[in-house]
Amino acid sequence: MTRPADPITNPPVTSDSIAQALSVAIHEHRIAPGTKLGEDELSEIYGVSRTVVRASLQTLSHIRLVDIRRNKGASVASPSTTEAHEVFEARELLEPRTARSAARRSTPADILKLERHIHDEHAALDANDSGRALYLSGLFHTEIARIAGQATIAGFIETLVARSSLIIALYWRRESALCEKHAHHALVQALADQNEQQAEELMRSHLVDLHSALDLRERNERTLSLKDALSS
């Protein structure tokens, strides 16, 4: 007698899964900086208790994607122009040296993974999904930090990349703020060739260009509701 197949069930919604979903939505610019993240609304959206939601917001506050203020609740972080400069200056100091180390340590499997990132990033750009492209671009940078084998620095870079996503959402002035279309290709080639100096120089110039693509004088306001953003 054939045993009936087990029914397909959805994985449980946890604080970690909510934090991940919110993080992706913020990185993809579906939720704008400054948006209030009400516990009641998120509880309704995800069908969980406020305690679970509160734990997810605390997780995001630790990596500075979310600000939590007493008597005001949680909202998506909104970096100032001063912090925007500081974040990109820090990336310009850290990531070139990390790219040099990654070039020394990269394997064919690492290169294939980075090439898949680029393919997916360009597919998102071709589909006019700039938020998705930005999210994938950030993953590309954190993956290079992982290849470099410097766990402590990789943690710093991951936080800086997360802040960069918020900064771009507020201050970008041209589409290349996502990353110049061929900049990542050149970086991957330098890593594949294990050309440490070229990888370092390309990463530095790439980040300087990204920094210069921001207009740090005015904000770009967005109005998508929290419910619509998380259901898209």
Q: What DSSP string runs through 28-47? A: TTSS-TT-B--HHHHHHHHT
| Mean pLDDT in residue range 53-72 | 91
Is 217 among the domain residues? no
99 and 144 share a domain? yes
Is 10 among the domain residues? no
Q: How far apart are CA 158 and CA 150, in angstroms?
A: 12
33 and 86 share a domain? no
94 and 207 share a domain? yes
Is 101 among the domain residues? yes
pLDDT per residue as tens digits for the range 91-133: 999 999 999 999 999 999 999 999 999 999 889 888 888 888 8
100 and 198 share a domain? yes
Domain interval for residue 189: 81-212
Cα→Cα distances 134→14, 143, 165, 189, Å? 26, 14, 7, 21
98 and 208 share a domain? yes
Contact 91, 207 (CB under 8 A): yes
pLDDT per residue as tens digits for the range 214-228: 887 655 555 556 666
Q: Which CATH number goes with the domain that contains 148?
A: 1.20.120.530
Is 168 among the domain residues? yes
Is 6 among the domain residues? no
| Boundary of a domain, candidates 55, 78, 101 | 78
pLDDT at 1: 46
Q: What is the pTM of this model?
A: 0.76
| Mean pLDDT in residue range 158-163 | 90
106 and 194 share a domain? yes
pLDDT at 6: 52
Count: domains in the chain: 2
45 and 139 share a domain? no
69 and 91 share a domain? no
Is residue 169 classed exposed, middle or buried when 0-12, 13-18 and 19+ CB atoms within 10 A define those classes? buried
114 and 98 share a domain? yes
pLDDT exceeds cutoff 70 at 31: yes
198 and 90 share a domain? yes
Contact 209, 176 (CB under 8 A): yes
Contact 122, 181 (CB under 8 A): yes
